[in-house]
Amino acid sequence: MVKLKAKTKFIYVILNRVLTIRGADIEKKGLILTLTRDDIQTIVESDDLTREPNWKVRLRHWSVWNELGIKYRTFSVRGIERISLIFPPMTAEKRQEIQRYVKKIQILINVNIDESTLTVPGCTKSESESESESESESEQKIEKPIEADPTYFKPDEKLIKLLDYALPRRKTVYITGPPGSGKSATVEWWCKKNKKPYVRMNMDGDLLKEDLLGQTELVSHKNPDGTFTRITQFRGGIITQAIEEDKILLLDEIDACPPTIAFNLQAILEGNALVNTRSGKILDIKNCKNFTIIATANTKGTGDETGLYAGTFTQNDAFMDRWTFIFETQYPSVDEETDILHHKIGIQKKIARKIAELAKEIRYSIIKSQELNMTFGIRRTMSLAEAIRAFGENDFAFDIGLYNRLPEYNRDTIREIKNRIY
């Protein structure tokens, strides 16, 4: 047999081995090949691929994995380094794709190889066959990945309990908390689950009274004879539309609204009719079945006390007093965040837990340390999880998923925390 380069031979052997494994379970779920350093050396009959200390990282960057949709994972069991090649469902189309790749290798090396001489040590079992092994052995297998579900959401149970009480009774709720703690998402989830109509508006410093109450506009009206006449017409604002259409009004980032504009909400927050000074109409909300106001904010109406929420305003105390309930959200627990990352990003639970534990340590350091002037919401952990899912637990993934979004003066501290977890 012609001597092949180690990389080419390794890929050829692995792909050929996969093509020989069949079964209904494999066609639906795919399969996993787990290899140790010794296994790889046996396949290529040398240590060419595993000689260097970072051999697992070097193998990860081979383009063949991305080309064929194969996920590459690394882990250790009892101090023995291993890699796992996670193949997608082996449909007829996927088998043909792999066969074409194998054919390209054969053409490249221009030789017929006796495939019976090519074996993969320790890789003769499919995923379904492995499930019948003893529990101690199955614990050593890498966890089967799941498909990412971007729609997955795990609501705050306490906030849901509050919304279950408040919204059917049309009580107002002010929800405050750090970024990425599920404030708006939980309200939207509740509305969709309970089939309640709602409208969401983001507040900002440029907000005008007309945006809330509406304004009179000059529009063109077509006459029966085909000519046009310029007339005035009132266009409702976000509040008037929500009342007239009987929808729950979700005001995002309400602490970014100038307090002089927020005054226009006070009568409604008390349950009184809206006297629209722009249209001259009085909109009574007592007959509404759904309309109420839910607000979200990063602050408690006291302005930016930390320097993290530029653009927020200190709200009038009388305005804050008119909210029926004020709820403060918290970041999810390690278990909850692990579950979220596992389902939304599709990474293994043990990797998701490491990220969740890292996030917990960073948040704790932010609270106790005056040096870390930052927030670390679940959007950041999801970005890091996405990077690790794509590129593995290496420096590149942590750079693009974490460090590059931090100011220089925070990076060393975060790296120290990361090194303790990893």
Point out the domain boundary residue: 138, 169, 191.
Answer: 138
Least confident of 153-157, 274-278, 319-323, 354-358: 274-278
Residue ranges making up the domain that contains 364: 335-421
Do 109 and 16 belong to one domain?
A: yes
- In total, the chain counts a number of residues equal to 422
CA atoms within 13 A on the CB side of 198: 26
**369 and 398 assigned to the same domain:** yes
Residue 50 has pLDDT above 60, yes or no: yes
CB 349 within 8 A of CB 342: yes
Q: Are residues 284 and 357 in the same domain?
A: no
Q: Which of 25-29, 47-51, 196-200, 214-218 has the lowest mean pLDDT?
A: 214-218
Domains: count for the chain: 3
Residue 401's Cβ-side half-sphere holds a number of Cα atoms within 13 Å equal to 23
Is there a domain that residue 409 lies in? yes
* Whether residue 191 is found in the same domain as residue 315: yes
Residues 129-138: pLDDT tens digits?
333 333 333 3
Nearest CA among 213, 189, 158, 178 for reference residue 325: 158
pLDDT over 90 (residue 354): yes
Greatest mean pLDDT among 154-158, 287-291, 302-306, 409-413 lies in 287-291
From 416, 421, 388, 401, select the one nearest 71 (Cα to Cα): 388
**Same domain, residue pair 60 and 173:** no
Domain boundary among 275, 296, 328: 328
pTM over 0.75: no
pLDDT digits (tens, 9 = 90+) for 62-77: 888 888 889 888 877 6
Q: Which helix (H) or strand (E) segment is 343 a member of? A: helix 334-345
Assigned domain for 313 exists: yes
Residues 410 and 361 in one domain: yes
Using pLDDT thresholds of 50, 70 and 90, give the confidence band for residue 285.
confident
**224 and 287 part of one domain:** yes
255 has a pLDDT exceeding 80 = yes
Q: What are the respective helix, strand and coil percentages of the chain, to the nearest 5? A: 45, 15, 40
Instruction: Please say whether the dihedral angle defined by the alpha carbons of residues 311, 316, 322 and 328, taken in this order, is positive or negative.
Output: positive
* Alpha carbon distance 261, 207 (integer Å): 7
The pLDDT tens digits of the residues spanning 169-192 come to: 999 999 998 888 889 989 999 999
